[in-house]
Amino acid sequence: MTTTGKQLFTTLTADGKLTLEVSEENFPAPTGNQVLVKMEAAPINPSDLAILTSAADFENAEYSHGKVVANMPEPFLTGQKNRHGQRLPAGNEGAGTVIATGDSDMAKALMGQRVACVPGNAFSQYAIADAMMCLPLGDHSSEVGASSFVNPMTALGFVETAKMEGHDAIVHLAAASNLGQMLNRICIEDGMKLVNIVRKQEHVDMLKAAGAQYVVNSSADSYMADLRAAIAETGAFLGFDPIGGGQNTDHVLKAMEQVAASQMSEYSRYGSNQDKSMYMYGRLDLGPTILTPSYGLQWRVQGWLLTPFLQKAGMETVIRMRTRVQQNLTTTFASHYKAKVNLEEMLTKEAISDYRQMKTGEKYLVTPWG
């Protein structure tokens, strides 16, 4: 028995055309530990945009109902050579109702339940998911539960990473995001000091109203001095950057070094001996990352990805994190959306031009039956 429904696909061809298209698909009956979820809500996360929009030119694209074809510029076309010609599903996470299951007890126990899941094709009316990765939502709606994996586990993962590496303070860039607000709440709950960096005064106000102690505005003339003061007070020499491009990470490393150097008793040609670490967990800015020679050689910049982190953290930690998410879905881990779109509305010029900007606090929710 197969189920038929609409699903979004993204295809990049070697001639530089990116096609996003909604089409009717057949979903097979779930087997073993699989469940078939009727998807009711799925967020468009920055991590989805890498495959969905990338750097394509949607300003001059060809739009039709449920379809758009845009040109992909270099070096992004060649950089994604390995996907050329492949028709890929999209949408990391979402929530919906289990309408069929495989034979396993774990799968059967989810029958009829509303669950959050991570199927990889969440922009779809149906999805096959692994029962092991489903989070039962109880009385919560699919909208409330749609974002219960990526952002909550990432924010918790930052705090776990800091603890594992012996830190009790964190710097966070683009800190007014949904993820940033979550991280602020977690850090307050856990007593982890957090230096929030934002670009607008309204975001300073918003985070301060939410209890944040250290919020620095990178648009202010006093940015570097403010950042140094916050780092000196918290001892934050570990940071997380979702922007990637430009000098955001560079400026934080520079401020960390200036604080460390000012605390040294004598000059060293190699800079301070303070370890300085920045994790890049996204590429909101696809421009190159610039690292200036301003902080010696005692530093580290590296990527941070959820899946490898969870593998490294181990099952016990992951279960502890998920239980915490489940128990605090409408408080600590609440998400907010700017707009709801169905699969066809998702592919209009108006919607794409808006959500691809990934503006702070302006996340879209896809409701495939809407």
State yes or no: residue 293 binds a second copy (CB under 8 A): yes
User: Shortest approach of a second copy to residue 281 CB, angstroms?
Assistant: 7
Please select the residue that binds a second copy; options are 3, 294, 317, 348, rule is CB under 8 A. Answer: 294
Phi, psi of 346 (to 5 degrees): -65, -25
- Which 12-71 residues touch a second copy, going by CB under 8 A? 47, 50-51
89 by DSSP, 3-state: which?
strand
Q: Which helix (H) or strand (E) holds 257?
A: helix 248-262
User: Interface with a second copy includes 298 (CB under 8 A)?
Assistant: yes
When the beta carbons of 211 and 303 are compared against a second copy, the nearer one is 303
Sequence letter at residue 204? V
The least distance separating a second copy from the CB of residue 204, rounded to whole angstroms, comes to: 27
- Burial environment of residue 224 by CB neighbours within 10 A (0 to 12, 13 to 18, 19 or more): middle
Which residue from 264, 319, 338, 370 is in contact with a second copy, where contact means CB under 8 A?
A: 264
Using CB under 8 A as the binding rule, whether residue 303 contacts a second copy is answered as: yes
**Based on CB atoms, which residue is closest to a second copy, 110 or 117?**
117
Stretch that binds a second copy, among 122-130, 186-194, 203-211, 258-266 (CB under 8 A): 258-266
> According to the binding rule CB under 8 A, does residue 355 interact with a second copy?
no
Distance CA 259, CA 228 (A): 6
CA neighbor of 336 nearest in space, from 116, 146, 52, 208? 146
Nearest to residue 158, comparing CAs of 145, 174, 142, 136?
Answer: 174
Q: Closer CB to a second copy, residue 32 or residue 303?
A: 303
- Would you say 75 or 191 has its CB closer to a second copy? 75
308 binds a second copy (CB under 8 A): yes
The residue whose two tokens read 């779809």 is 124
Q: How far apart are CA 302 and CA 184, in angstroms?
A: 22
Q: Which is nearer to a second copy, 29 or 290 (CB)?
A: 290
In the bound state with a second copy, the residue whose beta carbon lies nearer, of 55 and 352, is 55
User: DSSP string spanning 304-339?
Assistant: --HHHHHHHH-HHHHHHHHHHHHHTTTTTT----SE
Query: Taking a C-beta distance cutoff of 8 angstroms, is the pair 241, 249 a contact?
Result: yes
Interaction of residue 251 with a second copy, rule CB under 8 A: no
Residue 296 touches a second copy, criterion: CB under 8 A: yes
Residues at the contact surface with a second copy, assessed by CB under 8 A: 47, 50-51, 75, 79, 82-83, 86, 88, 244-245, 250, 261-262, 264, 267, 269-270, 273, 280-283, 286, 288-294, 296-305, 307-308
